[in-house]
Chain A
Amino acid sequence: EAQVTQNPRYLITVTGKKLTVTCSQNMNHEYMSWYRQDPGLGLRQIYYSMNVEVTDKGDVPEGYKVSRKEKRNFPLILESPSPNQTSLYFCASSHVPGQEKLFFGSGTQLSVL
């Protein structure tokens, strides 16, 4: 089954404790991206990757890191999480960077205390 898999589904952590949210897709997609979703603000792009070893900032990259060492994986790293990073995070992928059809993961609900 074609899918984007995010883990974990829920995560509660404390301020300053480094964490990684994993994202993997099995569709051989070139393009992958991370979003956060907050009430009243909609979906905002954090980082995206056009291909392996190619990443770029979205609209809200501060406090986040990403890497794309393999085509299928695109982890999101929070080196020192803060409470304002409490949010619902989505990973997505697409066959081509025009993004006509994004496949989204099921989301990761992160709470930073």
Chain B
Amino acid sequence: QKEVEQDPGPLSVPEGAIVSLNCTYSNSAFQYFMWYRQYSRKGPELLMYTYSSGNKEDGRFTAQVDKSSKYISLFIRDSQPSDSATYLCAMSGGRGSSNTGKLIFGQGTTLQVKP
């Protein structure tokens, strides 16, 4: 079993739809949870990060972490064609943990937002 599981999609939605992207994980030591966006032929860029459980909102994007269920989500409201990209979840034990320095990525979900 992989430490981090993410449905690769592809996911296709109409413009304006609410998009839900999810990851599950097995390592309870993970403390930092991140979402990266990767456009074709580009390096990933950080979109959202959350420490421990809870929600974080930034514009049209909301990140949720449920540590009890080992489940994280990224919601995109009013999706736009420019949101079409691959979204990667990532997790780490953070500073001070035995896994400091190690970052585990999900395999990424490809999203297409159609005009």
Q: Which residues of A contact B (CB under 8 A)?
A: 4, 31, 33, 35, 40-45, 48, 50, 56, 58-59, 90, 92, 96-102, 104-107
Q: Given that A96-B95, A98-B92, A102-B46 are contacting pairs, would A40 and B107 also be in contact in the complex, using a CB cutoff of 8 Å?
A: yes
- Interface mask (B4-45 → A, CB under 8 Å = 1, otherwise 0): 001010000000000000000000000010101000011111
Contact of B100 with A43 in the complex, beta carbons under 8 Å = no
| Set of chain B residues within 8 Å of A104, measured between Cβ atoms | 43-45
| New contact pairs (6) apart from A59-B102, A90-B44, CB-CB < 8 Å | A45-B105, A50-B100, A58-B102, A97-B100, A102-B103, A106-B42
Number of A-B contacts (CB under 8 A): 72
Contact of A100 with B34 in the complex, beta carbons under 8 Å = yes
List 6 A-B pairs, minimum CB-CB distance, nearest first. A104-B43, A42-B107, A43-B105, A98-B95, A98-B94, A48-B101
Partner of A41, one of B43, B44, B107: B107
Of all chain B residues, the one with the shortest Cβ separation from A55 is B101
Partner of B6, one of A42, A56, A58, A105: A42
CB A107 to nearest CB in B, in angstroms, measures: 6
Assembled-state Cα–Cα distance A99/B105 (Å): 12
Interface assignment of B88: CB less than 8 Å from any CB of chain A? yes
Assembled-state Cα–Cα distance A100/B44 (Å): 13
Q: Given that A100-B49, A105-B43 are contacting pairs, would A31 and B6 also be in contact in the complex, using a CB cutoff of 8 Å?
A: no
